[in-house]
Structure 1
């Protein structure tokens, strides 16, 4: 065994985001080898919803859980209503479900737009690239944009300048578009981000032709905007592959993607657990688990039963040997004690130890019968498009899944002709492709919204204007809701006893993506994607900004990266007991 001395520098970015916990990334960087040698993802805030939901009236759960997040609260409210619908045995009227779909589509458009253009985009703007990779900016200024005729920017450098915060033309345009999409959501569900007209059994929205017209007038402006955005981002992201050979390794990890499906089809969905396999596969975003590029399942029952909550590096005590709330699901399948229905939450505050317990985030995993897989969401859109494309189950005219791609058909708008966009399954699950998928899914959500609006209008014109169905809360029952938050997989699991909540566990995308090393030593997706990635930043150690690391973490859409603080260690010299080649072989 060879011994090589290498200078590893401790570097930390904490916090990266202050929404749904304070996310910190702690790394050791090898500046000689130009790689991130180690990464730990931490969260310093305990939320506690699984504790204080106990004893509450189940009908309040969507109002309470929407407060989990100030960004995607409506996704939580929707998922909670799905879980309640199952527990209460209620099927909302078709028009109510189309309105929920229209609200969720507007949320995807709103959130992806503001995050991609006004937060992620800053990492690729002229000012940032000038600070971190001046050589790349110089090349960008002389590189013609292949789709300049579609988006209006002659060079890649022009695109980067348009992304400059506050001064960039496209940056400002995107802010206006975000306002419009938020208005679309409020038309459907009354208020953003905590909807006021969304309930189990449907919605309280008064559906009229004028309501749909107001929504559609804004939607068509957004559709026209996307005809500019998709080719612009394709040009920008393709350029980084060309300008920095090997950049595909930034944020790359094994393809382990999970999607819980989105947009119910009321013609098929009755929220009955016994029928969940069939109505889940009729969703307009197909649920599924993709491992090494292969689609393992699209069955929501199997997906549900495979969820495991592990601890390991989390600040919690185990619940082994405690009460089992649900022994078998409604189909008679055994339910594991580490399933959310059976989880107990025992917080154990302690000092952070990066070699022991270091995060308030638990470690959700999906058990395939052999391994506990650390699935990620690809930021949401990458997993959604990948599973939908492979499944080939969606074909509604505006969008078609082909088995290898997703085609998106955008109709004629005021200033632009019809356009067909096609997202093709990429070679990598990496930083660039997570960001690219986010752009394409904006167009996908807009195309789906056109379909939902047509369906809603057909109901209204036929006089079927009922939007809510009565229900009774059972004395005892269980329910689970599955959907996609903006950032990816979202599930709510509820147990009712004596008419009150006995157990409730929401699992949004943040714990899936930001989980620490679990009890088997498996790193979470942030950790896995950053650890081992090369460094392309041109700055030396003293001026290092960590742009490639930040791009990777932000590609997962970790809520809002509203504040970044950096700590640069004193350059502690550590001794490596193996060679870089041996390390690569072990990986």
Structure 2
């Protein structure tokens, strides 16, 4: 069992005043996520937390028997937000199974599309969803004393973003009225245009295929992308400065706020953006081309890098059940006994999983309570099944890349202690260099702080990719697709980073059809319930035991610190909702009358 509870400050405790409180569904996200807690108002802390989901994701069931070439288009529909990440990851898995490598320009177009997606999604989530929890209107309701202090506190980076005080910054995040809130919506339109130039359609790509892309690589394609990128550069610079000012203020004004959402440092990153000069999609070479990714894969435990070898990462994957609504499959015959290098593959690995849903009543008192399974990573040296989280995506990506020290481009460099990001001159601001430094904690504030830094990282890498692509076009190398044949039997695995973190697709082909297919996005990792060892999932672990700083009492309690923690993970329970009825049952739709004004 994993020890997940970080040490808490101790002091004179009062007799507990426990109140059960729940938020179901959590708003401002996709899907039905419920958070059920017990809050001790006498000692101002959360004593218990359960994370539930009422969504059954049936893709692993109905993918069986399909043509594997359709997998990218089908799995894109898992999510209406990061569908392109699924298409990309599926194509990675297929390319391994088919033994095909896209041409350099085809790979570059995929990288450019994914960079635009990170720019789009992180910006709209941070500025239009996360920062509603930190805006003036919300802080006035939950911590009026804090807002009064914000009015008196000068913003250290005012010279970059233009807001004099922290309260001015908070006002700029007010929904529908704040200037930053509105500007982020405009930026989201531009970055979505960048995405569509490369991948055809947002968010379900129409031009991404195994073997390459169908995008026409005209010279104007890349200049159109670049011109839009330059238009958003200054907004990105300001975002980093604004976020630093607000988050540093919270630490300063609320001593102990670092404990909000804090958990043991257990971070997973599967890597992003392939280097076409190294990546051949062969499993035997996966360690080498994995380390050549422009976001370095890795598992970080207690602040130390355990491994950045994708083969080790793959073999350590375990799918546990525990408190989720499924039957076990360990007594079935395995699909894959050994990987292509001869390493044994565990029965609980995604290659061998069988999804057997068992709908039942929710039981938060030691029973089953969620449709989310519990992915874990088995640490061979310690024997732990680690409940890794993604840090909302950016925190794990930056931490793993920083410690590995392998990324070194003209715009982004991993230093061992952080990641240095350089952005060129924009329409208003000069060339600027930012450095994300490895923090002391894995907590709510640092998950949120990492997001704008990774937006800057994505903008910088987009510059790098577009320059390489334009160089290829000028040299006449415009190939974007490599043909292939579907083998009779094969296995493949794709590793990528969805916006909110780790994404893997595992594929088994028999008789040229899909025999087994399991996609694992970041949500199961972050939103998992207690597993078969009793270990809570990351949402549960981060909320459980955290202090409460909200000034309201039980009667008008908003749960703002709890909401900030859950949303810091960028929760997105996939919106592909499916219903499992069992054999022989028929779903009948009943006509419901429409009530108009005459019915009151």
Asked if 1 retains the 8 angstrom alpha-carbon contact of 2:31 and 2:572, the reply is no
Q: 2:52 aligns with which of 34, 42, 51?
A: 42
Q: Do structure 1's residue 338 and structure 2's residue 351 form an aligned pair?
A: no
| 1:90-239 superposed matches below 5 A | 90-239=100-249
Classify 1:560/1:213 alpha carbon distance in 2 versus 1 (closer, same or farther; 3 Å): farther
Give the TM-score taking structure 1 as reference length.
Answer: 0.94
Distance of 1:343 and 1:18 partners within structure 2: 32
SS of alignment partner, residue 15 of structure 1: coil
The aligned counterpart of 2:402 is: 389
The aligned counterpart of 2:393 is: 380
1:559 is displaced (CA, Å) by: 2.1
Q: Do structure 1's residue 366 and structure 2's residue 377 form an aligned pair?
A: yes
Classify 1:46/1:561 alpha carbon distance in 2 versus 1 (closer, same or farther; 3 Å): closer
Asked if 1 retains the 8 angstrom alpha-carbon contact of 2:103 and 2:212, the reply is yes
1:411 is displaced (CA, Å) by: 1.1
Q: 1:285 aligns with which of 275, 281, 295?
A: 295
1:414 is displaced (CA, Å) by: 2.3
Superposed CA deviations along residues 170-211 of structure 1, whole A, max 9, x for unmatched, are 100000000000000000010000000000000000001101
Q: 1:436 aligns with which of 446, 449, 452?
A: 449
Distance of 1:532 and 1:285 partners within structure 2: 32
1:311 is displaced (CA, Å) by: 0.3
1:44 is displaced (CA, Å) by: 0.6
Q: Do structure 1's residue 469 and structure 2's residue 489 form an aligned pair?
A: no
The aligned counterpart of 1:60 is: 70
- Uncovered stretches (5+) of structure 1, i.e. residues with no partner: 563-587
Distance of 1:417 and 1:160 partners within structure 2: 25
Distance of 1:554 and 1:5 partners within structure 2: 30
Asked if 2 retains the 8 angstrom alpha-carbon contact of 1:115 and 1:560, the reply is no
Distance of 1:6 and 1:238 partners within structure 2: 31
Superposed CA deviations along residues 61-118 of structure 1, whole A, max 9, x for unmatched, are 0000000000000000000000000000000000000000000000000000000000
Asked if 2 retains the 8 angstrom alpha-carbon contact of 1:28 and 1:36, the reply is yes
Asked if 2 retains the 8 angstrom alpha-carbon contact of 1:18 and 1:560, the reply is no
1:412 is displaced (CA, Å) by: 1.5
The aligned counterpart of 2:493 is: 480
The aligned counterpart of 2:592 is: none
Distance of 1:379 and 1:273 partners within structure 2: 28
Classify 1:327/1:13 alpha carbon distance in 2 versus 1 (closer, same or farther; 3 Å): same
Classify 1:321/1:17 alpha carbon distance in 2 versus 1 (closer, same or farther; 3 Å): farther
Asked if 1 retains the 8 angstrom alpha-carbon contact of 2:31 and 2:574, the reply is no
1:478 is displaced (CA, Å) by: 0.4
Q: Do structure 1's residue 455 and structure 2's residue 468 form an aligned pair?
A: yes
RMSD: 1.3
Q: Do structure 1's residue 530 and structure 2's residue 543 form an aligned pair?
A: yes
Q: Do structure 1's residue 514 and structure 2's residue 527 form an aligned pair?
A: yes
Greater displacement, 5-14 / 261-270: 5-14
1:415 is displaced (CA, Å) by: 1.9
Distance of 2:123 and 2:527 partners within structure 1: 22
Q: 1:413 aligns with which of 426, 430, 440?
A: 426
Distance of 1:6 and 1:293 partners within structure 2: 34
Distance of 1:279 and 1:296 partners within structure 2: 18
Classify 1:54/1:482 alpha carbon distance in 2 versus 1 (closer, same or farther; 3 Å): same
1:251 is displaced (CA, Å) by: 0.1
Q: 2:504 aligns with which of 480, 491, 496?
A: 491
Asked if 2 retains the 8 angstrom alpha-carbon contact of 1:16 and 1:561, the reply is no
Runs of at least 4 residues off by over 6 Å? none
1:6 is displaced (CA, Å) by: 2.7
Instruction: Give the number of aligned pairs.
Output: 560
Distance of 1:216 and 1:397 partners within structure 2: 17
